[in-house]
Amino acid sequence: MFELQNIRFLNVLHVPTLTIHEGDITCIVGESGAGKSTLAKLLNKMNSPTEGTITYKGRDLKEMDAVTLRRDVVMLSQTPLIVEGTIRDNLQLGLHYAEKREATEEEMMRVLQEMKLTQSLEDDVATLSGGEKQRIALARVALMNPSVLILDEPTSALDDHTEEDVMRQFLRNAKQAGQTIIIITHSKSLAEEVSDRIITVKAGEIID
C-alpha cells in the first residue's frame, strides 16, 4: 500500500526503507515525541518529506492531489473534529467531504450501536462526553469506508472496558471490508492484541 525510501523530515524523522502492506493492521508505537504522528502524517500529505520518496499503490505522492488522496487515506486525529449540531450532522460530515452519498438511517444507527452509543441521531453533540465524541468520530470514518484509515491514539478518551469492545468491533469490521489500518498508539498491549505488524519508533528512527 505504501513504500517509503530514504525518507527524511527535517531533523525529526529518518526512515531508510519501510513497507506498509494492504489489508494489514499496522501499529506505530513509541514514546511521546518519538515521531509516530510525523510518520503517519507523511502518508496522507499532512507533511511532505524533506528528502526521499513515498508511493501509494505505486504512485508517487508528489504527483497526487492532497485532497483526492485524503478522501482515500483518512486520518482521525487524537482530538477529532466535532462540529456544532446533531450527531446526524457529524456522522454525515466525512461523507460530504469525500463526495460520497449520504448514509441511510439504518447505516447510521448500525455504526452508533457498534460504537456502544445509545443516543438519538437528533441529539446535540454538545451534550456528549469526550469519549462519546471520540466514538462519534470513529463512527464517522467507519461510514466513509476509505481504503486506508490512520488512527492517532483512537482510544485515548475511552475507558478500558469501552476501549476493548469498541476497538475490537471497529477493527473486525475494517478487516472484513479489506481496509488497511494504521494505528498510532503508546499502548504496547493494544498493539500486541490487534496488529498484524508493529513498527517501533524512537527518537525519529525506526528501531524494530
Amino acid at position 81, single letter:
L
* Residue 58 lies inside a defined structural domain of this protein: no
C-alpha cell at 157: 478518551
Q: Give the C-alpha separation, 70 to 96, whole Å.
A: 13
* Residue 173 lies inside a defined structural domain of this protein: yes
* Residue 110 lies inside a defined structural domain of this protein: yes
| pLDDT tens digits in sequence order for the chain, 208 residues long | 999 999 999 999 999 999 999 999 999 999 888 999 999 999 999 999 999 999 999 999 999 999 999 999 999 988 888 999 999 999 999 999 999 999 999 999 999 999 999 999 999 999 998 888 988 999 999 999 999 999 998 876 666 677 667 878 888 888 888 999 999 988 788 788 889 999 999 999 999 9
Beta bridge partners of 147: none
* Nearest of 33, 138, 194, 31 to residue 128 by alpha carbon: 138
* Residue 90 lies inside a defined structural domain of this protein: yes
* Residue 98, Cβ density class (10 Å: 0-12 exposed, 13-18 middle, ≥19 buried): middle
Q: Give the C-alpha separation, 94 to 34, whole Å.
A: 29
Q: Give the C-alpha separation, 175 to 125, whole Å.
A: 29
Task: Name the residue range of residue 174's domain.
Answer: 22-44+65-206
* Residue 53 lies inside a defined structural domain of this protein: no
What's the pLDDT at 108?
97
Question: Residue 133: left if φ>0, alpha if ψ -120 to 50, beta else—which one?
Answer: alpha
* Residue 184 lies inside a defined structural domain of this protein: yes
Evaluate whether 27 touches 198 at the Cβ level (below 8 Å): yes
Q: What is the CATH number of the domain that holds 80?
A: 3.40.50.300
Looking at the structure of the chain, the number of domains it has is 1
